[in-house]
């Protein structure tokens, strides 16, 4: 399966020794799915986009330090590509920034969260399981780091699950779009380094609670299995 990675950010040099760059993280995630995949990288944040929605069999879109509502040319063109992927019903998985972009591009709303940063291991309560969510879970622990989040879902979106602080953490559109706020491609070690680097800009209690939450192991095998079933379904 040829998968296009719509890369919307980069890993800074001081963190590359942990898990490599974004492509390496997604390569590792895809290896956990057991799928035979060929990953093609598009540097979206540098203005590089595919020529057509069928250039790959499926699409993954990464997180970003940029907000989807910022006035950047690359964000506007990326939003148009998401609209095209939806219109053509191409299999697409949006993660963090990608999750927010799917919501914004298709008629939802993304805003800076009034509660501040969402960081650490959080459990998403699954309120409406999808057929591809095998093995089934009533709650899935995943890794979060974000300031912005989806506040209003796009029309026709199906809410899958959320947390107390992030009620729209996972949603789907049709059988072709899956959007999730957490990072299944991150490791706890990498997220810890990211959180520690932001100590000066994170509220102290949130910072301490977020770091402490990393003692809990997130689910890894289950989200990878879900991704496999979603992409093949």
Is pLDDT above 90 for 123?
yes
pLDDT score recorded for residue 57: 98
Is residue 179 within 8 Å of 172, Cβ to Cβ? yes
* pLDDT reported for residue 187: 98
Number of domains the chain contains: 1
Non-local CB neighbours of 36 within 8 Å, separated by 6+ positions: 1
SS3 state at 34:
coil
Domain range for 100: 2-232
Q: What pLDDT does residue 66 have?
A: 95
**pLDDT for position 193:** 98
The total number of residues shown for the chain amounts to 233
Read off the pLDDT of residues 71-98 as tens digits, 9 standing for 90 and up: 999 999 999 999 999 999 999 999 999 9
Asked if 5 and 23 touch (Cβ cutoff 8 Å), the reply is: yes
pLDDT band at residue 70, thresholds of 50, 70 and 90? Answer: very high
> Confidence band (pLDDT; 50, 70, 90) for 114?
confident
What distances in angstroms separate CA 162 from CA 29, 93, 128, 211, one per listed residue? Answer: 22, 17, 10, 20
Q: Is 193 exposed, middle or buried (0-12, 13-18, 19+ CB in 10 A)?
A: middle
**pTM reported for the whole predicted model:** 0.96
Q: What is the pLDDT of residue 34?
A: 94
* Cα separation, 156 vs 200, whole angstroms: 39
CATH for 80 = 3.40.50.880
Q: What is the pLDDT of residue 71?
A: 93
Query: In a 3-state reduction of DSSP, which class is residue 171?
Result: strand
In terms of Cα–Cα distance, which of 20, 23, 181 is closest to 102?
181
Dist. CA 65–CA 56, nearest whole Å: 25
pLDDT at 5 over 90: yes
Q: How far apart are CA 67 and CA 30, in angstroms?
A: 26
pLDDT tens, 160-206?
999 999 999 999 999 999 999 999 999 999 999 999 999 999 999 99
Contact (CB, 8 A) for 26 and 82: no
Do the strands 170-173 and 38-43 form a parallel or antiparallel pair, or are they unpaired?
unpaired
pLDDT over threshold 90, residue 133: yes
- Asked whether the CA dihedral 122, 33, 90, 85 is positive or negative, the reply is positive
How would you label 162-173 residue by residue, b for 16+ Cβ within 10 Å and e otherwise? bbebbebbbbbb
31-53 pLDDT, tens digit per residue, is 999 999 999 999 999 999 999 99
Would you say residue 115 has pLDDT above 90?
no
DSSP state of 9: -
Can you tell me the mean pLDDT for 10-34?
A: 96
């Amino acid at each position: 399966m040829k998968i296009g990675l719509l890369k919307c950010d980069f890993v800074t040099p001081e963190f590359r020794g942990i898990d490599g760059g974004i492509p390496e993280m997604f390569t590792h995630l895809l290896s956990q799915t057991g799928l035979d995949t060929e990953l093609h990288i598009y540097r979206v944040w540098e203005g590089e986009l595919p020529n057509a929605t069928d250039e790959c069999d499926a699409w993954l879109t990464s997180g970003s330090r940029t907000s989807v509502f910022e006035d950047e040319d690359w964000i506007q063109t990326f939003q148009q590509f998401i609209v095209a992927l939806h219109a053509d019903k191409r299999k697409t998985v949006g993660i963090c920034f990608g999750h927010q972009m799917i919501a914004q591009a298709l008629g939802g709303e993304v805003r800076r969260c009034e509660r501040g940063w969402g960081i650490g291991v959080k459990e998403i309560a699954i309120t409406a399981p999808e057929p591809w969510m095998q093995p089934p879970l009533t709650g899935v622990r995943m890794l979060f780091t974000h300031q912005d989040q989806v506040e209003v879902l796009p029309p026709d979106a199906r809410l899958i699950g959320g947390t107390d602080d992030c009620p729209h953490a996972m949603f789907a559109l049709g059988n072709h779009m899956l959007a999730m706020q957490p990072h299944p491609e991150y490791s706890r070690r990498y997220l810890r380094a990211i959180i520690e680097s932001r100590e000066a800009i994170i509220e102290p209690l949130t910072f301490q609670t977020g770091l402490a939450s990393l003692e809990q192991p997130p689910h890894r095998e289950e989200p990878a299995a879900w991704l496999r079933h979603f992409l093949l379904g």
